[in-house]
Every structure is written in structure tokens, then in C-alpha cells.
């Protein structure tokens, strides 16, 4: 594990480096507070730091404050403050500045090793909590089966993109997709086969759009695709590519090759006026989807471009 030593005295720095390398740490050195800040702010910077109280340019307390004020969503940095001061008010000042622990000079190597081990335990716990938080956030915003955006999240993405396109006077397009005869898949091959079809269709939809487009499970066998900065002409080509991506290859499920197609309702919206309801755009896409199904499925129907004067 990487550890930073911020110490301006070369001899003390060398002795600590040798001690920590014996403990199995990968040591990174900084001669002053500014160099330490630069190292700790790097994406792969050390998560453990031994900071001397007295340093040029930026002392240990100022360094602690800088690290804590800059640290928001990034990985936590455990700071052990090195000091020869032993008064209670000095200890309190160091901890209030943002240090997690302190150790007085001269220190015994075994004590330093134990203090750092405590720091590693805390960092491990913090990583576990962050991972659990991210998993909860993902589950709250994504569909459990397909791992696409869930209905609430894709609608939120669509509203945000609509407002952004209005501000920048750029076209905004959506595709409402429905798997054709999906009930027959469930009835003839079982719901597990249906789940496989939903997952595979979701994967193909994601692979058919740009990285900055969004795909969500709108409900049941329906999917909503939000296309940023996509005009009517581009939408027609994109819709055909997406339709073809689903229909071109069968899906293996329940020991059978299932031919799957989708129907698509598409619409483009261009506006310089704010606060146009997303619901009105989706209603027209839904009407176009209904027409696609009525006309024989496996096709895209385009609603008339919606333009707000």
C-alpha cells in the first residue's frame, strides 16, 4: 500500500522511509506541504499520509485543512500527524485541523506500525461503506433484471436532457420500443426465457446507441431511448439501425432459437421555449408506437416533429 511521508528533514525522512519499507509499504516522499498536496490530489495518490507538523511553505495543520476542504467525493485519506509537541491543546489543534491521529517524536517503530494498521482498518471500512452506498444507489436507479435505467431514472434523464436541449436550442429525440409478441414468448417458453429475451434486447439497445445516449426499461417489455442532439433525419437512420440490431440475430433461450423483433415509436422535438412537458412528447411517441404495431410490427413509425414556436 502507498504511503506519503511529508518531512523536510532529509535524515528523518530517510529513516522513516526505511522503516516503512520494512513494514511492506510503498513510500512516496514530499519535502514540503505544497508537494504533499500535489501528490495526495493525484487520482492514484496515497491513501495513508505521515505529515510532519513543521514544514516549509505549508505546515502540517494547513496541509490537513487543505486536504479536508478539497476532499468531497474522492477516496478518504488517513492522516497521521508527526509532532514533538505533547500539550493537550496542540493535540486538539491537530485533530481539529483534520488529522486522524498523531504520534510524537521520537517514536518507537512498533507504535508507528500499530497506528498505521489502525489507519488501514479504517480505510478498509470506509471502502466497504462506499461500495455498499454505490450498490444501493445503483439498485435505486437501475432495473434489477436488465441493469438499464429504471422507469423513474430514465424519465429523469429524459427531462434533464429535454431542458438542456431547450437551453442550447438543439434537437431532442426519443424512441419508445416494444418487443413484439412478447407475451407469446412467456406463454410458449416460460418466464425465464422471457427474462433472457429482455436482457439480450437491453444489451443490443445499449450497444446500438452512443455512450452519451440513455436507455431505460420503461415498463414490462417497453424500453425508452433518449437521444441527445439528434435531429429528424438522424433519428430515422438511428431507429432503423436499432430495429435491425434486434431483428438480425435470433436469441438463444429455452433450448430454442427465438426470432425477436421490436416496434418503435419515434419523435424529434425542437424548441426555444422552456417548460414543454415531457409527457406530451412521450404521448406522441406512444401513439406512433401504437401505429407501428397496427401496421404489422417490426418497424419504426415517426411522429410529426414537435416544434414549439
List active site positions: 221
* Neighbour-count burial of 78, counting CB atoms closer than 10 A to its CB (0-12 exposed, 13-18 middle, 19+ buried): buried
Cell of 115: 497506528
What residues contact residue 231 under an 8 Å CB cut-off, 6+ apart? Answer: 171, 173, 268, 270
Residues 184, 76: Cα–Cα separation, whole Å: 52
Q: Is the torsion defined by CA of 35, 40, 43, 48 positive or negative?
A: positive
Cβ atoms of 46 and 4 closer than 8 Å: yes
Q: Is the torsion defined by CA of 113, 116, 118, 123 positive or negative?
A: negative
Written in H, E and C, the secondary structure of 16-64 is HHHHHHHCCCEEEEECCHHHHHHHHCCCCCCCEEEEECCCCCCCHHHHH
Cell of 184: 407469446
Residues 23, 101: Cα–Cα separation, whole Å: 19
Cβ atoms of 30 and 4 closer than 8 Å: yes
Amino acid at each position: 500500500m502507498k504511503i506519503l511521508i511529508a518531512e523536510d528533514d532529509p535524515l528523518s525522512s530517510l529513516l522513516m522511509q526505511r522503516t516503512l519499507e520494512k513494514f511492506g509499504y510503498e513510500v512516496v516522499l514530499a519535502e514540503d506541504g505544497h508537494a504533499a498536496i500535489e501528490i495526495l490530489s493525484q487520482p492514484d495518490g496515497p491513501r495513508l499520509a505521515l505529515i510532519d507538523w513543521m514544514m516549509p511553505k505549508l505546515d502540517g495543520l494547513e496541509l490537513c485543512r487543505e486536504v479536508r476542504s478539497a476532499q468531497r467525493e474522492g477516496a478518504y485519506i488517513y492522516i497521521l500527524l508527526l509532532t514533538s509537541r505533547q500539550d493537550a491543546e496542540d493535540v486538539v489543534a491537530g485533530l481539529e485541523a483534520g488529522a486522524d491521529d498523531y504520534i510524537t517524536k521520537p517514536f518507537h517503530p512498533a507504535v508507528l506500525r500499530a497506528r498505521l494498521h489502525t489507519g488501514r482498518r479504517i480505510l478498509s471500512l470506509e471502502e466497504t461503506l462506499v461500495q455498499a452506498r454505490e450498490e444501493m444507489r445503483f439498485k435505486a436507479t437501475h432495473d434489477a433484471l436488465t441493469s438499464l435505467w429504471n422507469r423513474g431514472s430514465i424519465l429523469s434523464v429524459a427531462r434533464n436532457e429535454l431542458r438542456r436541449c431547450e437551453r442550447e436550442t438543439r434537437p431532442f429525440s426519443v424512441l419508445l420500443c416494444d418487443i413484439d409478441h412478447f407475451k407469446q414468448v412467456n406463454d410458449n417458453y416460460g418466464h425465464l426465457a422471457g427474462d433472457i429475451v429482455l436482457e439480450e434486447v437491453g444489451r443490443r439497445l445499449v450497444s446500438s446507441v452512443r455512450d452519451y445516449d440513455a436507455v431505460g426499461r420503461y415498463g414490462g417489455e417497453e424500453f425508452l431511448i433518449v437521444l441527445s442532439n439528434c435531429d429528424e433525419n438522424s433519428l430515422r437512420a438511428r431507429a432503423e439501425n436499432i430495429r435491425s440490431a434486434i431483428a438480425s440475430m435470433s436469441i438463444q433461450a429455452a433450448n430454442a432459437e427465438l426470432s425477436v423483433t421490436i416496434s418503435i415509436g419515434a419523435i424529434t422535438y425542437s424548441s426555444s421555449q422552456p417548460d414543454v412537458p415531457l409527457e406530451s412528447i412521450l404521448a406522441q411517441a406512444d401513439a406512433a408506437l401504437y401505429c407501428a404495431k397496427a401496421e404489422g410490427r417490426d418497424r419504426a413509425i415517426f411522429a410529426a416533429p414537435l416544434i414549439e414556436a
